[in-house]
Amino acid sequence: MSGHSKWSTIKRQKGTADIKRGQRFTKLANAITIAVKQGGGIGDPQTNPRLRITIDAARALNMPKDNIDRAITRGQDKKGGGMEELTYEGFTSGGVSVVVEAATDNPTRTTSEVKNLFNKAGASFGQPGSTSYQFRRVGQIVVSKDKSFDEIFSIAVDSGATDLEEVGEEVFIYTEPSSISQVKDALSQKGLTVTDVSFALKPTIKVSVADKATYDKILNFLASLEEMDDVQKVYSNLEVHSISSG
């Protein structure tokens, strides 16, 4: 199984990804603004695929429509609400690669805060491209395991999925980025409960860390990055050993 998928599950169980509902809404609002800005100011999700996926993710978490509309309007402002999209790369102890995606109206502050967390964790801040080559961009759809894995597998493959992973009580379904909306709609139409939809970076090279102290330190570092208000997503190629909450 993918280390990223297991890490996603650990985040849900430990509450590190969605510490506060309001914080999650803020992150999604920033993502919507960026999607509109990067889409040339297009606020129609039917003609802005990235915006559609981001709105789908917001709706999956019951984000109020007013919040979504405000974020779209902010993105249509000539300054895009002052929001910028940034990517950071680096390495932790044990040779684990990390990619951090952020959305911020203050790049200097955000960069300083991210670098500070890297330094505190004894991690190395890398140059652009230093780790991203170890990941590939995919569409990621998470569904509840309301049916057997075999049934979900069959439905997903028929819907155009390229890969699946069973993780606890969820199944992560991967697609080509250009097909994510089509596959997501097909899964919903065939009775699957979609709980999350997003673009993601899936590791192509995974690293296993045997030392428990080092392993725990890396997980805590990833969690601290996730907790930052400006950070949208954190990816690593750590091979996660367990999805227990202990």
**Six-digit token string for 196:** 């999350």
Alpha-carbon dihedral angle through residues 124, 125, 128, 133, given to the nearest 10 degrees: 30
pLDDT, one tens digit per residue, over 167-182 is: 888 999 999 999 999 9
Do 200 and 141 contact (CB within 8 A), yes or no?
A: no
CB-based burial of residue 38 (10 Å sphere; 0-12 exposed, 13-18 middle, 19+ buried)? middle
CATH topology of domain 1-132+205-241: Alpha-Beta Plaits (3.30.70)
Is pLDDT of 79 > 70? no
For residue 62, the tally of other CB atoms under 10 A from its CB is 8
Residue 9: pLDDT band by 50, 70, 90 thresholds?
A: low
pLDDT, one tens digit per residue, over 46-75 is: 999 899 999 988 988 889 999 999 999 999
Q: Tell me, what's the pLDDT at 60?
A: 83
Pairing status of strand 97-104 against strand 163-167: unpaired
- Between 224 and 80, the more confident residue is 224
- Between 62 and 32, the more confident residue is 32
Mean pLDDT of 230-243: 85
The reply to whether domains 1-132+205-241 and 134-203 share a CATH topology is yes
Is pLDDT of 44 > 50? yes
pTM of the model: 0.84
Lowest mean pLDDT among 8-22, 44-58, 87-101: 8-22
Q: Tell me, what's the pLDDT at 211?
A: 93
Half-sphere exposure for 166 (CA within 13 Å, toward CB) = 9
Mean pLDDT of 81-94: 90
The share of the chain scoring above pLDDT 70, in percent, equals 88
Q: Tell me, what's the pLDDT at 17?
A: 44
Lowest mean pLDDT among 82-96, 152-166, 228-242: 228-242
Pairing status of strand 170-175 against strand 135-144: antiparallel
Every domain of the chain and the residues it spans: 1-132+205-241, 134-203
Sorted by sequence, the CB contacts under 8 Å of residue 138 that are 6+ apart come out as 162, 163, 174, 175, 176, 177, 199, 200, 201, 202
Q: Tell me, what's the pLDDT at 102?
A: 96
Q: Tell me, what's the pLDDT at 88?
A: 98
Do 73 and 22 contact (CB within 8 A), yes or no?
A: no
Is pLDDT of 133 > 70? yes
Rounded-to-integer distance, Cα 171 and Cα 150, Å: 11
Q: Tell me, what's the pLDDT at 16?
A: 44
| Whole-number average pLDDT of the chain | 88
Domain 134-203: assigned CATH number: 3.30.70.980
